[in-house]
Amino acid sequence: MRLILFDIDGTLVSSSRTGRKALGQALREVFGTDGELDTYEFAGKTDRRIVHDLLTAEGLSVSEIEARLPELDERMAAAGRELFTPDTVRPCPGVDLLLEALRRRPDVVLALLTGNIRHTAPLKLAAAGIDPTQFRAGAFGSDSLDRNELFDIAIERVRLSTGLHFPTDNVIIVGDTPADIRCARSGGGRVVAVATGPYPAEALNRHEPDFLFSDLSDTDSVLQAMLNPWAVSAVEGG
């Protein structure tokens, strides 16, 4: 059995700056500022980390931020329902066929490991035409400031949802940033990196993923990388 943990932004979907726009709208409504949102580097960070960085830089204390996070989450969801549409959020190349192939396999469980908060992750997937319910569980950007902590959270939630316990070497993260690669390494899993986000293949390759693809459109090759226990690490389409 394999547990495959998918990142969302830059891996499953492309949403340009729509997620940034939704977060900014919610921050201004709840905290009266979005700080240096326009220039902040999002890639690979959890939403909790982004919010804390932006607001502490504006002089807010951690306790002030934490007290209003439930309200912020609701406002982010409201902004997502308004802004996440098929025109602003699209599936990345190859995603639909890959997910269809994985769903047919009895030896695979699909789940999420994403920097998006739990409130907005399904909205973003649905806008891109991806059924959120095919993912049995997930770890989200609302669970921790530290993305590496999401690895164990995701495995435990899958265990609670399915009754299955996955050894870490049977866990594969699919992601588009060096942070996804570090997360997999920190937990003892494997990683399929894909250059459909902000990092080109050359930059991802420097972080030594197990596999690297330019996109997920070569379904057979991606499945081989994910599911063949004797697969040799390689860089494809780089």
User: What pLDDT does residue 229 have?
Assistant: 59
The answer to whether 26 touches 76, Cβ cutoff 8 Å, is yes
Which one-letter DSSP state was computed for residue 82?
Answer: H
Judging by beta carbons within 10 Å of its beta carbon (0-12, 13-18, 19+), is residue 101 exposed, middle or buried?
A: middle
Average pLDDT on 3-29 reads 96
CA distance 85 to 173: 26
2-14+89-235, which class in CATH?
alpha beta
- Euclidean distance between CA atoms 180 and 76, whole angstroms: 23
pLDDT by residue (tens digit) across 218-230?
999 999 999 985 5
CA distance 29 to 24: 9
| One-character DSSP codes across 157-176 | HHHHHHS----GGGEEEEES
18-83 belongs to CATH 2.40.30.10: no
Give the model confidence (pLDDT) of 86-98 as tens digits: 999 999 999 999 9
What single letter denotes the amino acid at residue 174?
A: V
The whole-number pLDDT of residue 231 equals 55
Q: Give yes or no for residue 232 having a pLDDT over 70.
A: no
Q: Domain-by-domain residue ranges, the chain?
A: 2-14+89-235, 18-83
Q: Return the pLDDT at 20.
A: 95
